[in-house]
Chain A
Amino acid sequence: SQTIHQWPATLVQPVGSPLSLECTVEGTSNPNLYWYRQAAGRGLQLLFYSVGIGQISSEVPQNLSASRPQDRQFILSSKKLLLSDSGFYLCAWSRGVAKNIQYFGAGTRLSVL
């Protein structure tokens, strides 16, 4: 069966510090991978998605970047965090086919102080 791992579960970072959130998927190959953010009281906003190694599409211009160094690894990064980067970050995967279901990780609660 497939599983998705996301860490850390919570993170408190000062403004201006760097960020690295990691997500890995097990039990499948060549998945589509996604990073979402859920701000307090808001819906899920797609930040990045990837259909293959080194292929990253950005949905919203911002202070964040994403990389996919391996088939089942997706990393969300920032060089300098802003207060507005606080939120709940979710990684998800799907099979690369139409009418796909996305499966989510447990999420990372990021607080930028």
Chain B
Amino acid sequence: DQQVKQNSPSLSVQEGRISILNCDYTNSMFDYFLWYKKYPAEGPTFLISISSIKDKNEDGRFTVFLNKSAKHLSLHIVPSQPGDSAVYFCAASALGTSGSRLTFGEGTQLTVNP
């Protein structure tokens, strides 16, 4: 049972435009959501997170939106840069989960073209 899903395996955008990466989840107990960025042969790097008490969190070029009723979150990157090309994972956790486990989506490969 895939509780966190990223339905788009890849996304290609032009430099300077907006990149929108989407993520859906099924477990209503999830209350904290994170986005990670991963380059090939490296570990994922934390980008931005959002708590379920908020619907938006912004950090520089990165904004995460959360729609709890739709169980959907998205990551917006504006403006997109070639260095943003990487695999992006969304992840979710439930308060009180033993060990604070994260459930990851399958990832979306973002390619930003110069």
Contact = CB atoms under 8 A, between A and B. Distances in A.
Are A and B part of the same complex? yes
B100 A105 contact: no
A107 B96 contact: no
Taking chain A's interface residues, is the majority helix, strand, or loop, or is none over half, making it mixed?
A: strand
Interface string B14-51: 00000000000000000110101000011111100101
Contacts of A97: 100
Contacts of A46: 101-103
Given A43-B89, A99-B32, A90 B43 contact: yes
A106 B105 contact: no
List the 10 closest pairs (A to B, CB-CB), nearest first.
Answer: A104-B43, A43-B106, A44-B104, A49-B99, A100-B100, A99-B32, A43-B104, A104-B44, A107-B43, A101-B46
Interface of B: 6, 31-32, 34, 36, 41-46, 49, 51, 89, 91, 93, 95-96, 98-107
